[in-house]
Amino acid sequence: MLKGADEAAVEQENSASPHGEMTSWDINDIKLPQDVRQIDWFQEWPDSYVKHIYSSEDKNAQRHHSSWAMRNTNNHNSRILKKSCLGVVVCGNDCSTSDGRKIYLRPAICDKARQKQQRKCCPNCNGPLKLLSCRGHGGYPVTNFWRHEGQFIFFQSKGAHDHPRPETKLEAEARRSIHKAQTAFSASSIRLKRIQEIESLTGAMPMPEALPLLLSKPDAYVIPANFKGHLSKSSQEPTLSSCSGQLLYPRAAGEDEGSGEALTWSQSPSLGRIPSAERLCSGPAVPCTAPSHQHCAHFSTQHVLPVTKGGHGSFRPNTGPLGDGSCGEKSLLTYSSSCLSLPPYPAPQSGPCSRVSGAPLRGSEGDMSEGGPQVGLNYCHNDMVFNLYPLR
DNA sequence: AGTTGCGGGCCCT
DNA sequence: AGGGCCCGCAACT
């Protein structure tokens, strides 16, 4: 089954990765190569028939992360973890936000949660939500395989996603948090109103200053504590302050990433990749730190990434020399690291930074990363969060 | 409440 | 046998 369409794909599969010698393996092979000379940066949006070899110390790889909504699939092989794509949740009315973006929600991974999710309404138009299943692998969902072998984590993707990208996990979490905050906010404003009424009856002076921040700006939401948790567990304050001027407001229309991304996707249904994208940057390990102002002004959700479908988002080894979350345990920062790859102007997303050409293998990862990148990580997230705004 | 991984089981080819 | 999928469970966040 699946054969015909796949065979051709399998052929490109073997050349999908820049380091040709490494792609001769298959995840099902009894023995996987151990003479790996080059490991890959984590790919946030693996697509098509690609293979990657990550360091076993790469936290994202360890967690089998993907920005696609992947659910675990039992393949009755405990050595190989298999996941299949759940697609994307779209608005049944095919509505667009005021700035032209489409609604691409992340399907809940848990079956029950997903059913519950589908009973909810479109956050934009209140229309029904619709789950767009992934059928990119011969009519079946795209599957991802993970296998830990020695010092490496082997990743293989089968199938090309035939649907737009959903929100990343972080965005979905952020949206939930915003929703919670919104709920809490309404509840607390009612309480406050009552308190004020009582106070006015008793003659006590209300203390506006004591009211929650931004009450006067109903469109701007206070970041709830739990929301902050989603943003970062370690180091977001500085960035919040550094960006707050803009971030506290909904992004201006036109800085659309959602529709742009969708457009890109629809224009290049499945093979609109830029195969050489990842090779564009063969230079230094950290060549692509975008101008800092960009972080606030333009970056937003993953959709803003100038991605061509399949231009794999790459998680920089964000995290510190060993990609282990030294600048933020949670995926947040690691996810956001994809922002770092962004050049000031749309270009293949992952490409430039996704890989250290000839990067030494483990043992000298100290060469990767360092310095600059981490500084900007949070910018992306904070901005991301506020760019979820139109979806409220 | 939701995510993730595991594994039993069923169905289909 | 291999792949897809459903289900429940447990650990974790």
Let me know whether A86 and A191 are in one domain.
Answer: no
Full domain range(s) for residue A185? 172-230
Beta pairing partners, A155: A52, A146
Q: Are residues A150 and A269 in the same domain?
A: yes
Domain tally for chain A? 2
Q: Which residue has the higher pLDDT, A211 or A18?
A: A18
Tokens of A36: 């790996």
Residue type at A252 in one-letter notation: A
Please check the confidence at residue A76 and state whether its pLDDT lies above 70: yes
Closest CA to A316 of A366, A374, A261: A374
Residue A266 and residue A222 share a domain: no
Which of residues 98 to 127 on A have a Cβ less than 7 angstroms from any strand B atom? 106, 108-110, 112-113, 116-117
User: Does the pLDDT at position A192 exceed 80?
Assistant: no
Name the closest nucleotide to A329, judged by C1' and CA: C13
Q: Say if CB A343 and CB A352 are below 8 A apart.
A: yes
Distance of CA A356 to the CA centre of its chain: 21
Q: What average pLDDT score do residues A274-286 get?
A: 32
Same-domain pairing of A141 and A197: no
Say if residue A91 is in the same domain as residue A216.
no
Same domain as A194, residue A158: no
Residue A25 within any structural domain of the chain: no
In a domain, A243, yes or no: no
SS (H, E, C) A314-360: EECCCCCCCCCCCCCCCHHHHHHHHHHCCCCCCCCCCHHHHCCCCCC
Which tokens in the block code for residue A118? Answer: 């589908």
User: Are residues A353 and A220 located together in one domain of the fold?
Assistant: no
At A5-41, the pLDDT tens digits run: 444 444 444 444 444 444 677 777 777 777 777 888 8
pLDDT > 70 fraction of chain A, expressed in percent and rounded: 40
A209 CA – B4 C1', rounded, Å:
44
Higher pLDDT, A7 or A120: A120
**What is the predicted pLDDT for the residue at A191?**
56
Q: Within a domain: residue A85? A: yes
* Residue range A205-225: mean pLDDT, rounded: 33
Protein-covered nucleotides on strand C (Cβ within 7 A): 3-8, 13
Is pLDDT at A170 greater than 50 in this prediction? Answer: yes
DSSP letter string over A125-154?
T--BEEEE---TBTTB--EEEEEEETTEEE
Rg of chain A in Å (alpha carbons): 22
Instruction: Note whether A388 and A250 are within 8 A (CB).
Output: no
Cα–Cα distance, A153 to A124 (Å, whole number)? 40
Whether the per-residue pLDDT at A52 is higher than 60: the answer is yes
Identify whether residues A223 and A157 lie together within a single domain: no
CB neighbour list of residue A376: distance below 8 Å, 6 or more residues apart: A289, A290, A292, A295, A339, A340
**Same structural domain, A49 and A63:** yes
Q: Is the CB of A143 under 7 A from strand C?
A: yes
Does the structure show a pLDDT above 80 at A98?
yes
pLDDT, tens digit (0-9, with 9 covering 90-100), for A245-271: 333 333 333 333 333 333 334 333 333
